[in-house]
């Protein structure tokens, strides 16, 4: 029996995954391998380097200290140069690289205490690329390189971008790697936003998270009959924009408590879990 944790993307909503992880690890549910995409690659890399309660408290503290400007440092000049075609991105990835360099506990993917695999997308072919070896900072940065916002990362001659473009919740990769039980940690989406995001970044990230959940629902339906798929329910209702990093503490706490309640109520089911992610409205 091989257990995989699969962590999806979702920008600032990645804070939810921290609360989910705290409960799962606290209940003795541990992965034999970790597969992540985008922000799920960042959280997955931390988990692969250290999965104790103390390690996850440190990850939670890191999330509580994040701000949008620290992750996506933008300005009039950087936005203009991207808009007029002087470069293919709006924001430098220096902040993300620095964050990883300061916090990752291993330099190469193959050195992670828990086997780690992150998913990126080839810019030219559109195909997903699984990164399991090589410099960890490069791999995770590539998986999180939101197209048009962050620059692609060149690895082995290929320009790579955010894996969420093609395969945001890489259940198929976990199964190919031999997982028989797959715990999926989705970030969900803001189903109760009261107003339209006021920034281009906010609009872009909201659209991405909506697409993520559509794809995830299809993947769950496809693979439920192949492996033991267990989808941790995302938060609902949720009114936090994926571009808003100010609600991390609340999101972590809510996700931790909701996951505990879900496990206590023995609501793990074998089929029909895609319904958790279907589009819906609140009256």
For residue range 168-214, what is the model confidence (pLDDT) as tens digits?
568 999 999 999 999 999 998 777 777 887 777 778 778 777 777 77
CA atoms within 13 A on the CB side of 49: 22
Instruction: Count CB neighbours of 133 within 10 A.
Output: 11
Length of the chain: 283
pLDDT exceeds cutoff 90 at 266? no
Is residue 167 flagged as an active site residue?
A: no
Q: pLDDT at residue 263 above 90?
A: yes
Distance CA 245, CA 222 (A): 33
pLDDT at 219: 85
Q: Could you tell me which of 57, 32, 22, 59 has the C-alpha nearest to residue 117?
A: 32
Whether the Cβ atoms of residue 166 and residue 126 lie closer than 8 Å to each other: yes
Cβ-count burial 177-212 (b if 16+ within 10 Å, e if not): bebebbbbbbbbbbbeeeeebeeebbebbbebbeeb
Query: Catalytic pick from 12, 51, 138, 162?
Result: 162
Question: Closest Cα partner for 13 from 141, 189, 184?
Answer: 189
- Per the DSSP assignment, residues forming a β-bridge with 36 are 7, 118
C-alpha to C-alpha distance for 126 and 267, rounded to whole angstroms: 37
Of 12, 38, 143, 172, the catalytic one is 38
In the predicted model, what is the mean pLDDT of residues 26-35?
Answer: 98
* Cα–Cα dist 255/44, whole Å: 17
Res 283: pLDDT? 58
Q: How confident is the model at residue 259 (pLDDT cuts 50, 70, 90)?
A: very high
Q: Please give the pLDDT value at position 152.
A: 95
Residue 87, pLDDT score: 52
Q: Indicate the pLDDT class of residue 221, thresholds 50, 70 and 90.
A: confident
Return the DSSP state at 235. Answer: P
- In percent, how much of the chain has pLDDT > 90? 59
pLDDT at 278: 67
Q: Where are the beta strands (DSSP E) in the chain?
A: 3-7, 33-37, 116-122, 128-131, 153-155, 158-162, 181-185, 228-231
- Would residue 69 show up in a list of annotated catalytic residues for this protein? no
Res 78 pLDDT > 80: no
Instruction: Give the span between the Cα atoms of 82 and 67, in whole angstroms.
Output: 22
Rounded mean pLDDT of the chain?
87
The residues facing 155 across adjacent strands are 158
Per-residue pLDDT of 120-139, as tens digits, reads 999 999 999 999 999 999 99
CATH 3.40.50.300 given to domain 3-277:
no
pLDDT over threshold 50, residue 80: no
Q: Residue 131 and residue 143: Cα distance in Å, rounded?
A: 9
Model confidence at 58: pLDDT above 80:
yes
pLDDT band at 83 (very low <50, low <70, confident <90, very high): very low
- What six digits make up the tokens of 169? 């919740």
Distance separating alpha carbons of residues 92 and 149, to the nearest angstrom: 8
Binning pLDDT at 50, 70 and 90, where does residue 24 land?
very high
Say which range, 24-33, 118-127, 175-184, 258-267, has the weakest mean pLDDT. Answer: 258-267
């Amino acid at each position: 029996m091989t257990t995989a944790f699969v962590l999806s993307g979702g920008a600032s909503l990645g804070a939810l995954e921290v609360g989910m992880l705290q409960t799962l690890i606290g209940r003795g549910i541990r992965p034999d391998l970790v597969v992540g995409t985008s922000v799920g690659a960042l959280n997955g890399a931390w988990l692969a380097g250290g999965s104790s309660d103390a390690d996850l408290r440190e990850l939670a503290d890191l999330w509580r200290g994040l701000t949008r400007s620290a992750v996506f440092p933008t300005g009039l000049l950087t936005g203009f140069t991207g808009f007029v075609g002087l470069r293919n991105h709006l924001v430098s990835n220096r902040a993300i690289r620095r964050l990883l360099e300061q916090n990752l506990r291993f330099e190469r993917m193959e050195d992670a205490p828990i086997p780690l695999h992150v998913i990126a997308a080839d810019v030219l072919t559109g195909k997903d690329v699984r990164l399991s070896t090589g410099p960890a900072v490069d791999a995770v940065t590539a998986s999180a390189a939101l197209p048009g916002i962050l620059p692609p990362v060149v690895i082995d001659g290929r320009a790579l971008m955010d894996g969420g473009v093609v395969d945001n919740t890489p259940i198929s990769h976990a199964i190919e790697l031999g997982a028989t039980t797959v715990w999926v940690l989705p970030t969900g989406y803001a189903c109760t936003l009261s107003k339209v995001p006021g920034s281009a970044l906010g609009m872009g990230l909201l659209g991405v998270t909506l697409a993520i959940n559509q794809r995830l629902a299809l993947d769950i339906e496809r693979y439920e009959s192949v492996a033991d798929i267990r989808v941790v329910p995302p938060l609902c209702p949720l009114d936090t924009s994926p571009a808003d990093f100010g609600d991390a503490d609340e999101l972590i706490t809510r996700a931790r408590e909701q996951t505990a309640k879900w496990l206590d109520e023995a609501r793990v089911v074998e089929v029909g879990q895609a319904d958790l992610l279907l589009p819906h409205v609140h009256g």
